[in-house]
Amino acid sequence: MASKAATPPYAGAARLADSLCYPQYTASLKCLEEYSSDKSKCQEHFDVYKECKKKEREARLERNKSRSLFS
C-alpha cells in the first residue's frame, strides 16, 4: 500500500523536476552556491529562469484554452 506522503496533494500537480525550466532552475541554484548567495552575480540566471517559466505558463494556458470546467 502506497503512503499518502508519496502522493502529490493534487492529481495534476507538476513536480519541479518535470518542468522544462528545471535546467534553468538548477543553474540559478548552482550560481548562488558558487557566489556564496550573492544574488547580484546571478541575475542573468534568474532572468533566464523567469522567462522560461513565463513561456511555460503561456503554453499551458494555450493548451487549456479549449477546456471547460463544466464539461
The model's pLDDT over 25-56, given as tens digits with 9 standing for 90+, comes to 999 999 999 999 899 999 999 999 999 999 99
Mean pLDDT of the chain, nearest integer: 83
Contacts of 15 (CB under 8 A, 6+ apart): 8
Q: What is the model's pLDDT at position 54?
A: 96
In a domain, 1, yes or no: no
In a domain, 28, yes or no: no
The total number of structural domains in the chain stands at 1
Task: Determine the angle formed by the axes of helices 43-64 and 22-34, rounding to 10 degrees.
Answer: 160
Radius of gyration of the chain (CA): 17
Predicted structure pTM score: 0.70
Domain housing 51: 38-63
> pLDDT class for 58, splitting at 50, 70, 90?
very high
